[in-house]
């Protein structure tokens, strides 16, 4: 699944509309206070912001930052 999201992230970077979407995700991610979360893990912050947006979208209730962090750390170590 991580590879699928990475391919989507790469594809979004190729169009103006995609870059605007990634920037919107990034702005919301930073506003949520996650700007410095795991910043040296080798993943681009805009990729993490996209994952955060997708996590929020697919959650059945409003997730907390800690729930996302726990999911992300588990998801990226697989």
pLDDT for res 2: 82
User: How is the chain classified by DSSP, letter by letter?
Assistant: -HHHHHHHHHHHTTSHHHHHHHHHHHHHHHHTT-TTTTTTSSS-HHHHHHHHHHHHHH-SS---HHHHHHHHHHHHH-
Q: Report pLDDT digits (tens) over 44-68.
A: 999 999 999 999 999 888 889 999 9
Asked whether residue 1 carries a pLDDT value surpassing 80, the answer given is no
Asked whether residue 78 carries a pLDDT value surpassing 70, the answer given is no
pLDDT for res 17: 97
């Amino acid at each position: 699944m991580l590879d699928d999201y990475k391919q989507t992230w790469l594809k979004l970077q190729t169009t103006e509309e995609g870059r605007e979407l990634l920037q919107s995700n990034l702005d919301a991610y930073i506003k949520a206070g996650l700007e410095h979360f795991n910043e040296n893990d080798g993943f681009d912050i805009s990729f993490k912001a996209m994952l955060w947006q997708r996590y929020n979208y697919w959650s059945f209730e409003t997730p907390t930052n800690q729930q996302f962090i726990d999911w992300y750390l588990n998801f990226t170590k697989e």
